[in-house]
Chain A
């Protein structure tokens, strides 16, 4: 029995409550899994359905009225399985970071559901929300601004324990933080140093250690390596992969670098202007893309092979991404699409396996939101 009697008994009570709740969730989730008998053999850990986030645009100083909304995320669906990595790619402004923030409950969705083990976390509050948050943690993009410069590394990594004291009793924390430093490949003796004493790659390791502190099941990583130098990127990517095996983590990996996403992901979703336009396994998306946006995006990525220069076909899109405050009608990509026709203007294509590919089996049989989906190989195969 640790010394601080009162606190501990309170914590203990809380913990018991949470354990009971946790068991209940688990039972619920298992029963729903038995019912659905999910085809992949994995019960989805996270089910996202119809996720929407609109930021209101207002006018007037005394009398504020809403004149519109920035439709940052406008109907996103996906599943995340146990131990799986889902990559989300897209250009700036497509809403991928907003999705990340909603997953960890930093933003409340305007509509839609995020089911964690069968329970909709968007409706939770208070203690139940706190318990879920423990299991879904985030790693941020910029290791220079996401660490408090006035806190020591030990305080930064140990801060989650202040909020969730049930994970590590007070006397135990320093040891736990040192273990975490060791796990992410930093010297445990650095516990009293400040963030400015570390390089970018080392800081990102600190951010990852903080994400791991509460032993979460899901880590949402928003552009975790894009601020790092090339030679350091590989170190951090390898670390993330090792930790996934070690702690049986599931990742939602958000990035704009398509090569890194392919490397780390089991499945990939491509976003454009607040929606997922195509989703499938990494081979389905990279080797057999059927949506024109995915094809354009892939063909634009420079391949580090000068011999491929001459025989690569590149699809150069014209123009820029339209404003999410006023997205085009019908298919949102139509203003930049070379295939666009009247139908694209009138009818919103749904994210499903396109009719042409519904018969038979093959890598083209994955959801793609295009009226005129067709396969096109754009990545040179080995």
Chain B
């Protein structure tokens, strides 16, 4: 049994202008000790899926319109909010992109980390603070003992992100969801933070869902990838296979459109057009207006997630042709 299984998840947002279909039937699984990277551009539904798993979706305007989220075999969507709170933080935790706005500016970092132990484990504030020092040491914040009483603004961006990691790991959860954890950081600090996260993940044998748009970061840490577009998974595969030969034109376009550090290169391949409006997703395959391979069938029929190999899926009518073209 996988640690987490998302089955046919649908999420919509009801707004004054209409219904925005943010997630339209997402399926994925994460095992213990495994890293799943969810790749997608803004508006692809990658973060909304994560919020639904964590149970922190804004309801309303958000609404889970269907599907199941099985965590250790239990459907989280059927749990009462009270039970859900016990899962959140203790068994699964989340790391956000912007550490400065996710931390409380008027509480010291020690109090914020310690609070987890007070609430979930019933410890005293003093013991909580001692635990906080221990965790700050663990995420390698220098002089943790002296700095435990300081406030978020007194730390640098990289250190704030480590504090977020410390909070996420505090109760040794089984699953961590990291939503663009290094996007706001500089490359040298990004490398520090990703290394730390990977090391702690190994140590605690946690499942990790890494949400990102950075194809470089994904290649560095992921075991498998799910590529999302307009609320659907368009391709899902082990990391080595997808980079070697993508089986979906969108994945292929993404990989070709990034400039490489090791190549000077000529003109970049650019995916034409813009991501679709979620209130008005094109019929058939959502990618069809931007796809170089689109045929009539793509404009009418939604492509099923076809099996490319036992570990690999692609939602394209022409995945065979795409795969052939990319292996050549």
- Listed A/B pairs (22) with beta-carbon separation below 8 Å: A91-B189, A92-B157, A230-B215, A230-B254, A230-B258, A232-B274, A234-B271, A258-B187, A258-B261, A259-B261, A262-B259, A263-B260, A263-B264, A303-B216, A304-B215, A304-B243, A304-B255, A305-B219, A305-B243, A306-B239, A306-B243, A307-B240
Query: Known contacts A230-B41, A301-B187, A316-B195; is A286 also within 8 Å of B270 by CB?
Result: no
Cβ B260 vs Cβ A259 within 8 A: yes
Q: Which of B159, B240, B261 sits near A262, CB closer than 8 Å?
A: B261
Complex contact B190–A300 (CB within 8 A): yes
Q: Could you say which of A49-57, A211-219, A235-243, A355-363 contacts chain B?
A: A235-243
List 12 extra interface pairs beyond A302-B219, A306-B219, CB under 8 A: A229-B213, A230-B254, A231-B253, A234-B258, A259-B216, A296-B188, A303-B216, A303-B219, A303-B260, A305-B243, A308-B219, A316-B191
Instruction: Return the CB mask of B257-272 against A: 1 if under 8 Å, else 0.
Output: 1111111110111111
B156 touches A320 (CB 8 A): yes
- Given known contacts A259-B258, A300-B188, A301-B216, is B267 in contact with A241 (CB within 8 Å)? yes
Q: Name A303's contact: one of B158, B159, B262 (CB within 8 Å).
A: B262
- Determine the chain B residues whose CB is within 8 A of the CB of A235 once the complex forms: 270-272
Q: Is A38 an interface residue (CB 8 A)?
A: no
CA distance A234 to B254 in the complex (A): 9
Contacting pair A234 B270 (CB below 8 A): yes
Please report the total number of A residues contacting B with Cβ < 8 Å: 48
A326 at the interface (CB under 8 A from B): no
- Give the contacting residue for A302; candidates B157, B214, B264; CB below 8 A: B214
Interface flags, A281-294, vs B, CB<8A=1, else 0: 01100100000000
Question: Does A29 lie at the interface of the complex (its beta carbon under 8 Å from any beta carbon of B)?
Answer: no
The segment from A69-77, A164-172, A374-382 that touches chain B is A374-382
Contacting residues, chain B, for A230 (C-beta < 8 A): 41, 213, 215, 254, 257-258
Q: How many A-B residue pairs have CB under 8 A?
A: 134
> Sorted from nearest, which 8 A-B pairs have the closest CB atoms?
A302-B216, A263-B259, A234-B257, A91-B186, A300-B191, A234-B270, A234-B268, A229-B41
A183 at the interface (CB under 8 A from B): no
Check: A317 CB closer than 8 A to any chain B CB: yes
User: Which residues of the partner chain A approach B239 to less than 8 Å between Cβ atoms?
Assistant: 306
Residue picked from B158, B218, B268, most chain A C-beta under 10 Å: B268
List chain B positions with a Cβ less than 8 A from chain A: 41-42, 156-159, 186-192, 195, 213-220, 222, 239-240, 243, 253-255, 257-265, 267-272, 274-275
Q: A229-B275, A238-B270, A303-B219 given as contacts; is B191 within 8 A of A314 (CB)?
A: yes
The answer to whether the Cβ of A298 comes within 8 Å of any Cβ in the partner chain is yes
The minimal Cβ–Cβ distance linking A243 to chain B, given in whole angstroms, is 13
By the criterion CB–CB under 8 Å, are A379 and B253 in contact? no
> With A92-B186, A231-B41, A320-B158 known to touch, is A263 a contact of B265 (CB < 8 Å)?
yes
Q: How near does chain A come to B34, taking the closest CB pair, in angstroms? A: 15
Given contacts A262-B261, A300-B188, contact A238 B215 (CB under 8 A): no
Which residues of chain A in 237-287 are interfacial with respect to chain B, using CB atoms and an 8 Å cutoff?
Answer: 237-238, 241, 256, 258-260, 262-264, 282-283, 286
Cβ contact of B260, chosen from A233, A304, A309, cutoff 8 A? A304
Question: Contact at B220–A231, with CB atoms within 8 Å?
Answer: no
Contact of A91 among B188, B243, B272 (CB under 8 A): B188
Minimum CB distance partner of A200 in chain B: B42
Chain A residue contacts of B274, Cβ below 8 A: 199, 201-202, 232
Interchain nearest-CB distance for B326 vs A (Å): 14
CB closest residue in chain B, given A307 = B240
A352 on interface, CB distance cutoff 8 Å: no
Which residue of the partner chain A has the closest CB to B217? A302
Q: How far is the CB of A378 from chain B (nearest CB, A)?
A: 9
Contact A263 B216 (CB under 8 A): no
Min CB gap A374→B, angstroms = 20
Chain B residues with CB under 8 A of A256: 186-187
A229 closest partner in B (C-beta): B41
- Chain B residues, Cβ within 8 Å of A45: none
B270 touches A379 (CB 8 A): no
CB of A297 within 8 A of chain B? yes
Smallest CB separation, A229 vs chain B (Å):
4
A231→B263 contact, CB < 8 A: no
A166 to B198, CA, bound (A): 60
Q: Which residues of B contact A305 (CB under 8 A)?
A: 219, 243
- Quick one: given A91-B187, A300-B187, are A238 and B275 in contact (CB under 8 Å)? no
The distance in angstroms between the C-alpha atoms of A321 and B186, with both chains bound, is 10
Q: Chain A residues near B42: list those with CB within 8 A.
A: 229
A91-B188, A316-B191, A320-B159 are known contacts. Are A379 and B262 too (CB-CB below 8 A)? yes
Q: How far is the CB of B211 from chain A (nearest CB, A)?
A: 14
> Complex formed: what's the CA distance from A305 to B215 in Å?
9
The residues of A that contact B258 with a CB separation of less than 8 Å are 230, 233-234, 259, 304
Chain A residues numbered 200-232 whose CB sits less than 8 Å from any CB in chain B? 201-202, 229-232
- Please pick, from A238, A302, A380, the residue contacting B267 in the complex, using a CB distance under 8 A: A238
Bound CA span A264–B259, Å = 9
Residue of B nearest to A299 (CB): B191
